[in-house]
């Protein structure tokens, strides 16, 4: 969290504020968030650079800069980007502030200090090992079958493995598995063709619907303007332990899968 729909929403809503603007300064309040290069070099190299574009890869946000460099951001569990937040003084959780030439300020806030920043010549140095994008046209049921074939790990663990498929995290994996009626502990390679096609459809539908709802504000996620997303209102199982399943009325359960909490319906997902 944030996952693909939240980062896609941030990208879409941040774009009109930052693309075409010049970075006039960066204030690092938590230098430890900079992975590459050194914090001092990070700040000096960003100054006076124009932001040429913004994109997303998996859960990473990528700002293309004049001169060819890329500013790569990962919000991790509790990070969010806010444009000109109203809090004065800034929140105690503000870790970096990016000042732009028109007076816009972009605040990187992060409760747990887990977010990361990279300034690299090529974004592939950071995101190059990610798996395919689940919303790309090239991500077909056959591709999913190839990714899962012969894997003995639980399907939930495979879905959240970013080297297999980029961008899916706990919430949307749980929702997709519920819609496809697949238990999170099923060995990934045991799915038959029908189940594979159901899961493929569920992944894409769940992610697209969540983007339409501007992401899910179940923890610390807010959109750049400070508004919450509403995708969590549509959740059927995620974060609903102890509540009745909307399909059959059974009690939603939560179990650990490779140290990740996983929500499912024991009746619909046998």
Q: Give the residue numbers marked as catalytic.
A: 2-3, 59, 260
Residues, the chain, total? 270
- Which residues does the chain have with pLDDT short of 70? 87-90
Task: Look at residue 88 in the predicted model and tell me its pLDDT.
Answer: 58
Task: Look at residue 85 in the predicted model and tell me its pLDDT.
Answer: 85
* pTM of the full structure: 0.95
Q: What are phi and psi of 142, to 5 degrees?
A: -65, -40
What are 189-240's pLDDT values in tens digits? 999 999 999 999 999 999 999 999 999 998 789 999 999 999 999 999 999 9
How far, in Å, CA of 150 to CA of 189, rounded? 5
- Half-sphere exposure of residue 10: CA atoms within 13 angstroms, side-chain side: 33
Task: Look at residue 56 in the predicted model and tell me its pLDDT.
Answer: 98
Domains of the chain in start order, with CATH, are 4-127 (3.20.190.10), 141-264 (1.10.8.50)
């Amino acid at each position: 969290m944030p996952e693909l729909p939240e980062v896609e929403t941030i990208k879409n809503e941040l774009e009109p504020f930052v693309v075409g603007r010049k970075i006039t300064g960066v204030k690092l309040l938590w230098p430890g968030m900079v992975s590459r290069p050194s914090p001092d070099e990070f700040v000096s190299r960003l100054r006076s650079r124009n932001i040429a574009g913004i994109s997303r890869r998996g859960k990473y946000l990528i700002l293309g800069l004049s001169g060819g460099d890329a500013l790569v951001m990962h919000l991790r569990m509790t990070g969010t980007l806010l444009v000109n937040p109203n809090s004065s003084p800034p929140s105690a959780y503000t870790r970096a502030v990016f000042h732009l030439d028109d007076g816009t300020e972009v605040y990187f806030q992060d409760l747990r200090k887990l977010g990361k920043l990279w300034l690299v010549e090529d974004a592939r140095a950071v995101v190059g090992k990610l798996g395919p994008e689940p919303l790309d046209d090239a991500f077909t049921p056959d591709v999913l079958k190839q990714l899962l074939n012969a894997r003995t790990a639980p399907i939930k663990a495979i879905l959240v493995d970013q080297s297999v498929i980029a961008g899916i995290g706990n919430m949307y994996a749980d929702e997709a598995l519920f819609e496809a009626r697949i238990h999170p502990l099923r060995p990934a390679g045991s799915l038959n063709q029908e189940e594979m096609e159901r899961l493929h459809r569920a992944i894409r539908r769940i992610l697209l619907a969540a983007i339409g709802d501007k992401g899910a504000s179940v923890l610390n996620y807010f959109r750049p303007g400070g508004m919450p997303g509403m995708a969590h209102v549509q959740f059927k199982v995620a974060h609903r332990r102890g509540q009745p399943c909307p399909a059959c009325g059974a009690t939603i359960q939560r179990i650990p899968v490779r140290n990740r909490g996983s929500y499912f319906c024991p009746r619909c997902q046998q």
